[in-house]
Structure 1
């Protein structure tokens, strides 16, 4: 899955260059976007603008399309003053539009929700997501670019807001959520759904399963520089919730179990792994309940 030449060309180029390129590629959607402050975004104090709002699915105020730190995103405000902010990342082959219902649930739990579009997804481009070669060439570049962009978004939010920030992601978005939590201490909490917080271990197991050659030393070093496993430090005021389907065939649970074994202790109640038996790479109602309980106790 690890492809260093493409990785170096795409994922490791300066963020400002990528964001400038992304801005040029924005669709007609972006023509309706206007300048705004992060403070306005958080509290929803923006004046109405034509062609911008998209009505929520189940009684939310409205979705708003914005570029946040250059990243196309959907924003949804709760009906009352928010208790926190959730940055919500979709998975491989999905789009920010397809996560509207998920976002509306979280907004109903009194959070402002931001759904950034993943690189090479939605209006930022497309790939043959079911093709194995495409996956191997693009997975890590997309994850790492997503972490870098999420870090910029969290930094911007932190400058003008004191509300707790949570990052939630599923599958590829789960990798991004874990990576952002590990690298940015202004992220109060994170929920990783069917993702991994031990990237090098995940890659090793992936290659072993498919009979691929092991990673070269330089590839391991590059991946370690972003791997949450390398950065995790226990903290009394931060929480990490790992939700994983026991039968997950897309992102097997093994690397998350390894992360817990190596990085969690009996005294460390800041990390929790919950396994869901008999389910394969899905977001279940039980997971949503656990996320709700987690947010309620970490605000």
Structure 2
């Protein structure tokens, strides 16, 4: 069972702050130093994050792992169907960004105003973290980690559609331009962190990405990184933004990435 993967020194509670199903991982009081929201990826759920979340909690973080909309206890979709991804991915993502302020408030109530808050996530969860950093809730964060995600949402869509069209064209021996998946881009630009990069406040941000990621292209995340770096430099915060690429790695969150996530959050949040 998933619960057997939990660190035995960490308390795990099922809660519903604001009606949002979540798991909360609480370390021993003597270790407690800060609070974190951890966001799962597309097609996953909070229960699949027990090992990662309890490992983070064992290093002093009170970790909150919510189910994204249409995931876990909040419903299901046919996650592998391209049309479903096109229709729902960004609405699910934006909803998570909008809920972040409330969930961070929940952690503030539990920990007090002086405790640092952080956000981390993998895949869709990494997209979510990037979105939070350019939303009002980003002002509450002391540090953040985005694993195999992207802060350039529209660029990612364009790259994935281009690749899908190329593959479809090869399979059908037809014109790749005839392939089309309807992604509604209307209104997405205002939420896209790349197009709102001026709102980045210089929060310490670590971007971890597999070199051979076939789900979220490294080039899209690098596109965001290069623009974000200009903003961080303007704020004298360029040392607070890093992109680390893992050679020969596809769309996976490795144990090494987890260790790097923990070390970054500890160093940059000063816990």
Q: In which range does the TM-score fall when normalised by the shorter chain?
A: 0.7 to 0.9
TM-score, scaled to structure 1:
0.75
The whole-number CA distance in structure 1 between the counterparts of 2:65 and 2:108 is: 17
Instruction: Say yes or no: does 1:223 pair with 2:185.
Output: no
The whole-number CA distance in structure 2 between the counterparts of 1:153 and 1:231 is: 22
Deviates more, 1:272-281 or 1:197-206: 197-206
Q: Structure 1's 283 and 271: CA in aligned 2 closer, same or farther, altered over 3 A?
A: same
Structure 1 residues without counterparts, runs of 5 or longer: 1-53
Once the two structures are superposed, the pairs formed by residues 88-237 of structure 1 within 5 Å of their partners are 88-158=38-108, 160-183=112-135, 184=137, 185-211=139-165, 220=185, 222-233=187-198, 235=201
The whole-number CA distance in structure 2 between the counterparts of 1:215 and 1:229 is: 22
- Please give the secondary structure, in 1, of the residue aligned with 2:142: strand
How many residues align structurally? 243
Tell me what 1:3 maps to: none
Instruction: Say yes or no: does 1:281 pair with 2:261.
Output: no
Higher helix share: 2
Tell me what 2:24 maps to: 75
Runs of 4+ residues deviating >6 angstroms = none
RMSD: 2.2
Q: 1:254 aligns with which of 219, 225, 234?
A: 219
The whole-number CA distance in structure 1 between the counterparts of 2:80 and 2:164 is: 16
Asked if 2 retains the 8 angstrom alpha-carbon contact of 1:95 and 1:122, the reply is: yes
How far residue 151 of structure 1 moved from its aligned partner, in angstroms, is 2.6
The whole-number CA distance in structure 1 between the counterparts of 2:228 and 2:4 is: 43
Asked if 1 retains the 8 angstrom alpha-carbon contact of 2:147 and 2:209, the reply is: yes
Deviates more, 1:109-118 or 1:256-265: 256-265
Asked if 2 retains the 8 angstrom alpha-carbon contact of 1:195 and 1:244, the reply is: yes
Asked if 1 retains the 8 angstrom alpha-carbon contact of 2:213 and 2:251, the reply is: yes
Structure 2 residues without counterparts, runs of 5 or longer: 166-178
Deviation per CA, 1:52-101, whole angstroms, max 9, x where unpaired? xx787222332111111221110111112411111011111111011010
Deviation per CA, 1:226-280, whole angstroms, max 9, x where unpaired? 11123334545x2111111110011111111111222214661221110101011
Asked if 2 retains the 8 angstrom alpha-carbon contact of 1:56 and 1:63, the reply is: no
How far residue 187 of structure 1 moved from its aligned partner, in angstroms, is 1.6
The whole-number CA distance in structure 1 between the counterparts of 2:40 and 2:67 is: 8
Deviation per CA, 1:124-178, whole angstroms, max 9, x where unpaired? 1111112222211111111111111123212444465331111111111111111
